[in-house]
Structure 1
Amino acid sequence: MASVWLTGLALVLAGPVPALLARARWPRAVPRAAIVLWQAVAAAAVLAAVGSALAAPEALLRVLTHPRERTGFPLLIAVGVAAVLAGLIVVRLFGVLVLLAVRTRMRRARHRDMVDLLARAEQNDAVGSLRAGTVLRVLDGAVPFAYCVPGRVGREGRVVVTGATLDTLGPDELSAVIAHEQAHLDARHDLVREGFTALHKAFPVVARSREARDAVALLLEMLADDAGRRRHGDDAMAGALDAFASRGGEGTEHDDVLLRRDRIRAHVQGGRALSVGIYLAAVALVVVPTITIVIPWLTDALQGLRPL
């Protein structure tokens, strides 16, 4: 039964739970805690899938054989099949993560070199004093835009803005944008996004969902918005987002900017009680299945496989 419960849990955590969580409004009030909850959902789904792969051969052995026959060659086959199934899941996830990390870092290295080459030095110096320690690059561009390029060991990341951003935003708004991007770099939000992108690619197509990846990406932006708000105020951060939204265009990215702007203007902010409750729920997602399903299964399996 453990394999059935773990399979069902993995499917629920990979499908219905992300769909419901992505539609919820309360994560916007506590983005940090909500990201931890998303990470717990992902970890629990992977652990349940691995546990199901380990438990299924043993459960099949129990159904097909007499207790006296659960030793020797049948037991060896069950253990081997379980190891192979679980190993395939782990190796695929690890392989996707490593490949994604290597490709991403190569692409970022080229990107950093490119923005360093194309940056307008006179404007870099003009706004470079806005935030000590920030490596800022200004590129030609007629549309207000800002982003960051994470660094690597021994190299700093870059905060990149267009010339139109300098022309459009006021000093406080520009400082809020730089604080927003620097928050991404300081907290290494790129690593969180990489993890969810790897999970998305590693899951089979039938169980794959973009909801977790996209929801976490939006929550990371809200978390960085909060860093800009703390340093320079709600009006500055909301004004900058309003300028970015007014550049035109349609689609999910534009809608997300509007959502973030409206969130700030509505002063959406959750309390400590909500955050603590979410953190406890995240811990429970991993701990409860372990205590109620995995440990009893291991205990029963070990007892059942002892020589009679």
Structure 2
Amino acid sequence: MASVWLAVLALALAGPVPSALARARWPQRVPRAAIVLWQAIALAAVLAAVGSALAAPEELLRALDPEDREGTPMIVAVVVAATLAGLIVVRLVGVLVLLAVRTRRRRARHRDMVDLLDRAERSALLGQAGAKAVLRVLDGAVPFAYCVPGRAPRVVITEAALDTLDADELRAVLAHEQAHLDARHDLVREGFVALHQAFPVLVRSRQARDVVGLLLEMLADDAGRRRCSDAAMAGALEAFVAAGDTETVARLERVRARRCGGRALATGTYLAAAAVVVVPTVAVVIPWLSEALPAAGVLR
């Protein structure tokens, strides 16, 4: 039954659980802990899928008479289990590697482009303005800012943003982008994009990828709030809000409301993340191993 329980768990962690967590509002109060919880759910889903693939052939074999388990049936069960689990792992690793290569090539081209289009005279006047990464200023009538992570990171901001933001708001924006670069939030995003692409279409969900992206933005907003103030971060977000931009609106409302979870909520979220991984291992995997290993002749 371990294979069935693990398969059900994998499907639940890939669909209903992310759907329920995505609708909750409390994770926005503790974005760092909430991201760890999302990572734990993703890890547990992969481990459950691999565990189900490993357990199913062995449990079918154990249903046979003891004398029929030796020799060829045992070899076939081991090969089938290893093949099923290997396919899951290889697909995930393959998607992750391919995504990493394509992303880094695209970033290199993007970095070259912003270097070429940079308003050098404006960048020189602005200096680094508190940013550790190289700052680039682009022409543009729409205020926005973003970062290009990697070995040679860039923080990109438009002239419209510079004309709109005051000094404190600009520092808050740069602190926001620098937080993304320092914490390598791009690697967290890549992991969830890879999981989204690697999962079968029937159980694939965009919710984890989208919600984690929003939580990462909120985590960087908190860096801007600490560096400057709530008012400065809210003013910057207000300048960047565009029609239909529900994500920035949610971030702006959070900063204005000064939502910040307490230590108890963060601790509870971290404990929940640990439980998502540990409880299935203790409740399902260890009992299965205690029966499977003796049956295979590994332990007597």
Please give the TM-score of this superposition, normalised by the length of structure 2: 0.98
The 5 Å alignment of 1:229-268 reads 229-245=225-241, 248-250=242-244, 254-268=245-259
CA distance in 1, matches of 2:66, 2:232: 71
| Aligned twin of 1:297 | 288
Q: Residue 175 of structure 1 corresponds to which residue in structure 2?
A: 171
What residue in structure 1 maps to residue 202 of structure 2? Answer: 206
CA displacement at 1:60 relative to structure 2: 1.3
Distance 1:238 1:110 in 2: 32
Task: Work out whether residues 33 and 269 of structure 2, in 8 Å CA contact, stay in contact via their aligned partners in 1.
Answer: yes
Partner of 1:76: 75
8 Å Cα contact 1:128/1:134 also seen in 2: no
Q: Deviations over 1:109-158 (max 9, x none)?
A: 00001101110011111222411523110000000011100022xxx200
Matches within 5 A, 1:134-283: 134-152=133-151, 156-245=152-241, 248-250=242-244, 254-283=245-274
Native 8 Å contact 1:128 1:135 kept in 2: no
Distance 1:99 1:191 in 2: 14
TM-score by length of 1: 0.95
Cα distance in 1 between the residues matched to 2:166 and 2:108: 31
Amino acid corresponding to residue 112 of structure 2 in structure 1: D
User: Could you tell me which residue of structure 1 aligns to residue 62 of structure 2?
Assistant: 62
Please tell me whether the aligned partners of residues 184 and 190 of structure 1 are also in contact (alpha carbons under 8 angstroms): yes
**Structure 1: gaps spanning 5 or more residues:** none
Name the SS for the 1:130 alignment partner: coil
Of residues 211-220 and 129-138 in structure 1, the stretch that sits farther from structure 2 once superposed is: 129-138
Q: Give the alignment's Cα RMSD to 1 decimal.
A: 1.1
In the TM superposition, structure 1's runs of 4+ consecutive aligned residues that sit over 4 Å from their partners are none
Which ranges in structure 2 are unaligned for 5 or more consecutive residues? none
- Equivalent of residue 279 in structure 2, options 288, 295, 301: 288
Tell me the distance in 1 between the aligned counterparts of 2:80 and 2:110. 45
